[in-house]
Structure 1
Amino acid sequence: MDEAKLTVAIVDDDEAVRRALCRMVSSLSYRVADFPSGQAFLDELQKEQYACVLLDLHMPELNGIEVLARLRMAGHRLPAIIITGGDEPKMRDRCLSAGASDYLIKPLERDATFAAIHASSSLSGPAF
């Protein structure tokens, strides 16, 4: 896949964090689609093919692991990178066991984010 044309979905309820992530991911030569909630992302999922999703763990209504579970129950193989402000080893294990491709701690470092996106988007080709 040509990474310059890949779109990364960013799902985070914090607008300032979402804007910062959009700028960083755009600077890595990816297109970006951002969503303020897990439900907003799920509602728009069929409209675009995403390379992967950066998915905030702690959000109201649907949290990141619930969004990931819905993706997997619907048969989507879209790589999901869980992002969180707090490193919780048991939660890390739970997310990875649920099918997350990676688990990153905020604030995200540019190089680590690029490596996670690159590795995730190379995993399975088309996400559907």
Structure 2
Amino acid sequence: MGEIVAIVDDDEPVRRALRRLLLSLSYQPIIYASGEEFLAGLRHASPSCAVVDLHMPGLKGLDVLLRIRSEGLRIPVIIVTGFDQSGMRVKCMAAGASGYLVKPIERTEMASAIEAAIGV
């Protein structure tokens, strides 16, 4: 198995689809249903990259990104969203996101974003 990639999404079918996609790209996915669960899980796992949904109950994707950066963690974060709001890509990238993808995400698009994020 390859690099560990965290998937953070509140939607179960999306988590399953992203898991299958990452496995097909030879990454080792670890799954989290919320931003809070992911941040707590960082005590036990060190993913090479995180794919984080922008719109979740509780901590939103941008909140997760800002928390990671404020704690000095060097985990690349790719923000994903099914609802692309005007200016949100710029806002996320300015906050330190490694990528910003709009669902549905193509296999090659995800592969390129992860490779760019982890410096493969």
**Same-fold call, TM cutoff 0.5:** yes
Partner of 1:13: 10
Partner of 1:82: 79
2:101 counterpart SS class = strand
Residue type matched to 2:85 in 1? E
Q: Deviations over 1:44-90 (max 9, x none)?
A: 11212211000000000100000001000100110000000022231
1:114 aligns to 2:111 (yes or no): yes
User: Runs of 4 or more off by more than 3 Å in structure 1?
Assistant: none
In 1, the alpha carbon distance for the partners of 2:118 and 2:20 equals 19
1:63 aligns to 2:63 (yes or no): no
In 1, the alpha carbon distance for the partners of 2:33 and 2:54 equals 13
Cα RMSD (Å)? 1.1
In 2, the alpha carbon distance for the partners of 1:89 and 1:114 equals 25
In structure 1, the gaps of 5 or more residues are: 124-128
- Give runs of aligned pairs for residues 37-56 of structure 1, distance below 5 A: 37-56=34-53
- Give runs of aligned pairs for residues 24-39 of structure 1, distance below 5 A: 24-39=21-36
**TM-score scaled to structure 2, two decimals?**
0.96
In 1, the alpha carbon distance for the partners of 2:96 and 2:22 equals 22
**TM-score scaled to structure 1, two decimals?**
0.90
Equivalent residue pairs, number: 120
In 2, the alpha carbon distance for the partners of 1:61 and 1:86 equals 17
1:100 counterpart SS class = coil
Moved more, 87-96 or 10-19: 87-96
Moved more, 46-55 or 77-86: 46-55
1:100 aligns to 2:102 (yes or no): no
1:73 corresponds, among 70, 85, 90, to 70
In structure 2, the gaps of 5 or more residues are: none
